[in-house]
Amino acid sequence: MQNIFIAGHNGMVGSALVRKLNLNSNNNLICAKKSELNLLDQSEVLRFFKRNRVDQVYLAAAKVGGIHANNTYPAEFIYENLTIQNNVIHSSYLSGVKKLLFLGSSCIYPKFANQPISENELLSGRLERTNEPYAIAKIAGIKLCESYNRQYGTDYRSVMPTNLYGPNDNFHPKNSHVIPALIRRFHEAKENGDQSVTLWGSGSAYREFLHVDDMAAACIHVMQKKFDLNNLSHVNVGCGVDLSIKNLSEIISDVVGYKGSLKWDNTKPDGTPKKLLDCTSIFKSGWKPLINLQDGLSNTYSWYLNNLDIARV
């Protein structure tokens, strides 16, 4: 029996991990609500680890958000993410945890990285300014895992997901990522009978998207597979296909059933122009995503409709 701690089990990725890991009867999942464990408190985190005799950790807890949130709360994004990951990773080491998986973000890569973006592009150029504090925290998390492996012989791994979406996402009107934000905008426009919806930017930026259930499967796969951690500090996780935000918006409006027109506010930022991950490493190891975008969006919209009271609205 493995005692597995999932930090951030109520979040989008954490809840997907709970669903997947619960399928194995040999897993004893350890979860704690924010009211039960403050991940920003170093001593409290260490006591939790020693009390629960944790064998494995999935570090999915983080402060996350879209362009608006990153621009508005840069201090919180860098401080809270650095503190959470430092506390969990260091407490894992002090309490004898040998296996840990740290979840990063594709925003760790330079704004104008070579496409598709391989793991080697890390620290090769300047970051996108709108999410630089968050990205720096995530880069520090990768290097923390890498450093503990080098010095202490731990097996702490890092995965860098592309843009994720799915059940339990954040549908806040200002602080959410692009897919939940668009789902909410189009749903409310449909309900209100609006003739048009104005969206941020030009719609020309390209993004890659992965359903969170595929991400959970990838996390478990990376934890179980053998990777050369001396030559690969982190593993990209994506689907290998991207599309423009304009195209994505049209697909989501169709899934939601919104019939009005789409307008674009070019005074708002597009963010990084293109961000497609090179997922050769994880594909070669035997993992591939199973959920296509159309099905994944339909699944996410259905979840939103069935959970309007808890969808962080």
CB atoms within 10 A of CB 31: 17
Cα separation, 134 vs 224, whole angstroms: 28
Helix (H) or strand (E) holding 71: helix 67-72
For residues 33 and 82, is the Cβ–Cβ distance under 8 A? no
Q: How many CA atoms lie within 13 A of 244 on its CB side?
A: 7
Annotated binding site for NADP(+): 8-14, 103-106, 138, 161-164, 177
- 258 catalytically annotated: no
Q: Are strands 56-59 and 2-7 parallel, antiparallel or unpaired?
A: parallel
Cα separation, 62 vs 80, whole angstroms: 8
Cα separation, 255 vs 228, whole angstroms: 41
For residues 240 and 304, is the Cβ–Cβ distance under 8 A? no
Phi, then psi, of 173 in degrees rounded to 5: -65, -25
Cα separation, 222 vs 179, whole angstroms: 26
**Pair of tokens at residue 253:** 């409006």
Annotated binding site for substrate: 185, 200, 207, 270
Q: Are strands 242-244 and 206-211 parallel, antiparallel or unpaired?
A: antiparallel
Residues whose CB is less than 8 angstroms from the CB of residue 259 and which lie 6 or more positions away in sequence, other chains included: 190
Helix (H) or strand (E) holding 59: strand 56-59
Which of these is catalytic: 134, 206, 258, 301?
134
What is residue 121's DSSP assignment?
G
Annotated binding site: 8-14, 103-106, 138, 161-164, 177, 185, 200, 207, 270
Please, where are the H alpha helices in the chain? Answer: 12-21, 42-52, 67-72, 74-94, 132-152, 178-192, 212-224, 245-256, 280-284, 293-306
| Residues annotated as part of the active site | 134
